[in-house]
Structures are given as C-alpha cells and as structure tokens.
Amino acid sequence: MDDPIGRIGGNVADKISDIEVGFRITNHPFLGYKKEDRIDLEQAWSSDILQGAFMGDVIFRLPGGDFSTIERDSGWRGLVEWCLTLDAAVRSITAGEVEHRISEPDSNEYIRIRRDRTDLVFSWTQSSDVARIGVGAFLQAATDFIRRSVAWIGDEYPAAKRNRQALYIWERLNTYL
C-alpha cells in the first residue's frame, strides 16, 4: 500500500550490510479508512495523534533480525508513537545507557537493546533473532527516520502539528528537523 515515509536501507559502514527503519501507513483493519483523513487533527486529543492517526506497520530490519510488526500482529502501531519510541532509544544510547527496551504497545513484549562496546545487540521476546549493528549506524538510521517522518507529517498534515494538546510531542520531535 502507501509508503509515504519511505525507508532507510543500503550499505552502511561498520559490521552492517543492511538496516531498514520505516513505516507503512495503512487503513484501519476493521473500519477500512485512515483516521487522519476523517478527523480534525488540530482539535483532536493527543491520544489521537499518538495512536489514532497515522497507524500502520513498523519496518525494523537489522542484520540478523527482523523486528517489524507487519506479519506478527498486523502492524497497527502509531507512526508518532514509533517516532517517540525511537527518540527514547536514541536518547538512552546517546547518554551511554548499557541497556534500553523498546516496548510494544498493549503488550508485555519488547525489543532489548544492549550495548557491547561500539555495537548494539538487539533481541526480542517474541523470537530468537539477534541482531548486531554499530552504534553510529543505528543512531543515524533512527535519527533520519524520525526527521523524515516529522517533516512528512508537517507537509501533508500540518493541522496535526498545530494541535495544542500535542505540543509536547512536537517540541520533542521537531528537534530532529
């Protein structure tokens, strides 16, 4: 379907042959439409910005593991929530934390990120996949994805960025622009 955000891929230096951080916006699986096309995003609740509008499939593939949401649970994660989740990982890793967890909404499942010198090791409670990539490669891919996503929302759905209840979200994510 549509892939307005695009994907990050290709060869990146250091122990990495391919990294893909992306998102595919899809129609609601039961309603058959995208909420962002049916509501007033400027007046919506902040929860509608986080987990109502811009819903779909996370694409998160690293050498050694596919941590995407597409096939496991029909995706259904919010793009803005995914950007905030990646932002938290970027901040944690940049601050030198040894471990960070990316929780899955409405679940006890998570992706564990553990620092091993100049690499990050990713594992997941739902599979035996283990991925290893350079710290810099992950930080660059996550940062680029957040920047592109926030810019796309601003260009295509500027009312969402004017939402007063969601100002705290945009203040945090606009730092990537």
Please spell the DSSP secondary structure of 30-83, one letter per residue.
TT-S-GGGTS-TTTS-HHHHHHTSSEEEEEEEETTEE--SHHHH---EEHHHHH
Q: Whole domain around residue 167: which residue ranges?
A: 7-176
- pLDDT > 90: what percent of the chain? 73
In the predicted model, what is the mean pLDDT of residues 22-30? 88
64 within domain boundaries:
yes
Mean predicted confidence (pLDDT) in 61-67: 94
The pLDDT of 112-126, averaged and rounded, is 96
Q: How confident is the model at residue 111 (pLDDT cuts 50, 70, 90)?
A: very high
What pLDDT shows up at residue 126?
Answer: 86
With respect to residue 2, please indicate whether it lies within any of the assigned structural domains. Answer: no
In a domain, 81, yes or no: yes
Distance CA 73, CA 71 (A): 6
Helices (H), ranges, 52-173: 70-73, 79-94, 135-156, 158-161, 167-173
Residue 36 domain flag: yes
Q: How confident is the model at residue 51 (pLDDT cuts 50, 70, 90)?
A: confident
Quick check: is 1 in a domain? Answer: no
0.75 cut: is pTM over it? yes
Structure tokens at 99: 């471990």
Q: Average pLDDT, stretch 161-169? A: 98
- At position 64, the amino acid (one-letter code) is G
Q: Which residues pair with 113 in a beta bridge?
A: 100, 122
CA angle 16, 17, 20 (to 5 degrees): 90
* pLDDT for the residue numbered 5: 56
- pLDDT classification of 16: cutoffs 50, 70, 90: very low
pLDDT at 14: 40
Structural domain contains residue 69: yes
Residue 6 has pLDDT above 60, yes or no: no
- Report d(CA 93, CA 115) in Å as an integer: 8
CA 11 distance to own-chain centroid = 20
Dump pLDDT digits (tens) for 72-84: 555 578 999 999 9
Mean residue pLDDT of the chain comes to 88
Rounded to an integer, the average pLDDT of 83-96 is 98
Q: What angle do CA 113, 119, 120 make, to 5 degrees?
A: 10
Domain count for the chain: 1
